[in-house]
Chain A
Amino acid sequence: MNSEGNPVLTLAWTFGLMSLFAVGGANSAIPEMHRVAVDVQHWLSDKQFADIFAIAQMSPGPNVLIVTLIGYSVAGVAGALVATLAMCVPTAVLAYGVSRLLTRSSHSRWPAIIQASLVPLSIGLMGASGLILAQTSDRTWTAALVTAVAAGLASTTRLNPFWMLLAGGCVGFAGLIG
């Protein structure tokens, strides 16, 4: 599939482009990461993708570091470094440029309109992330139940998410997820 090129270059190109299309943050880009990493490039299996998502959620730092894990599994430390920079730098440069521009004309109404237009898009994208991850993770009834309970608790209480991840890990360790 990927015979024509250097995998590190493929990582740079893939995530560099994705960076500019991640409307609403890293979690909006999860369907695209899954499509590229699992379906197109065959870097990871479905199960490995779900594992990597779990590791990223358990780690400190911004959500975007899921690409560090994908990069590592493709090309080791170099892959991790390149994927991380490719996902962060283009949008960082854009943010720098836009913030310079906006301090000069801060009373434009465009930011408000753009934001109002993009919020529904990013919710749709994150919903799709949830669906794709649920399809890979929730293969049994207990698994779906863990997801539902975590979603319910996180929506209705201010419980630290760490405890829900820990509880999920314990249920998994007990062999109840299958």
Chain B
Amino acid sequence: MPPDSPPVAVPAPASPTSAPPSLIALFVAFAKMSLAGFGGVLVFARRAIVDRHRWMTAEEFNETFALCHFLPGPNIVNLSVVFGSRFRGIAGAAAAFTGLVGPPAVVVTILAALYARFGEVEALRRILAGISCAAVGLLLAVVFRMMMPLIGKRDLVGLVVMAAVFIAIGLLRLPLPAVLLVAIPLSIAITTAIRRRAAA
């Protein structure tokens, strides 16, 4: 499950949505997209929710995802909760969440047990070392792709905020909560001030 791609706009066909899903349908749909979700669950989530089941239009899906993207925590987990609750309240949220996280968590726990047992085997160590090099590359590619719009728009403030967070966390290794408690209010204040001036 390499990093999810940044959100992209999807053209919204005017397709009517179908009947709201049952709790079991929610659980099964999210379990399936999660287990299939190699290369990012998001793509599979969109395919299942919008194309296959027609539970949401592409536009509704994009709005829901945008909401989940600015909330902290794993985006796709937030999406499952927001999506499930929209149809079936708290029970729906729980069904979608359990479907998304439960089955792959069982798989990963089994892998963790195997790693605890065989992690010192020389061949496995070498293979994992190679995989992690490639995985770091995939992560860096996502970072580049997300940076491009900032550079394209010559968003100087955004780039400075980005660089400051990178230095504080990556180089100085400061604790995350402390950095964000300073950076988030500051970034929101600057963005608001700039938008006010632009609007004036």
Interface range, A side? 35 or more
The number of residue pairs between A and B whose CB atoms lie closer than 8 Å in the complex comes to 376
Closest residue of chain A to B79 (Cβ to Cβ) is A95
B170 in contact with A61 (CB, 8 Å): no
B129 in contact with A172 (CB, 8 Å): yes
Cross-chain contact of B187 among A54, A77, A117, A160 (Cβ < 8 A) = A117
Given A60-B107, A124-B163, A148-B137, A113-B195 contact (CB < 8 Å):
yes
Chain A interface helix/strand/loop/mixed? helix
Given A22-B72, A120-B161, A102-B143 contact (CB < 8 Å):
no
B133 in contact with A147 (CB, 8 Å): yes
A57 in contact with B170 (CB, 8 Å): no
B158 in contact with A21 (CB, 8 Å): no
Residues of chain A within 8 A of B175, CB atoms compared:
32, 35
B126 in contact with A126 (CB, 8 Å): no
B131 in contact with A73 (CB, 8 Å): no
Report the 4 A-B pairs with minimum CB-CB distance, sorted nearest first. A172-B130, A61-B104, A91-B73, A150-B137
Beyond the given pairs A55-B112, A72-B116, A131-B170, 19 more chain A to chain B contacts, judged by CB atoms under 8 angstroms and listed by A's residue number, are: A21-B177, A27-B3, A29-B176, A51-B129, A57-B132, A60-B104, A64-B74, A68-B112, A69-B115, A72-B109, A72-B113, A81-B105, A95-B81, A118-B187, A120-B161, A137-B129, A152-B141, A167-B134, A173-B126
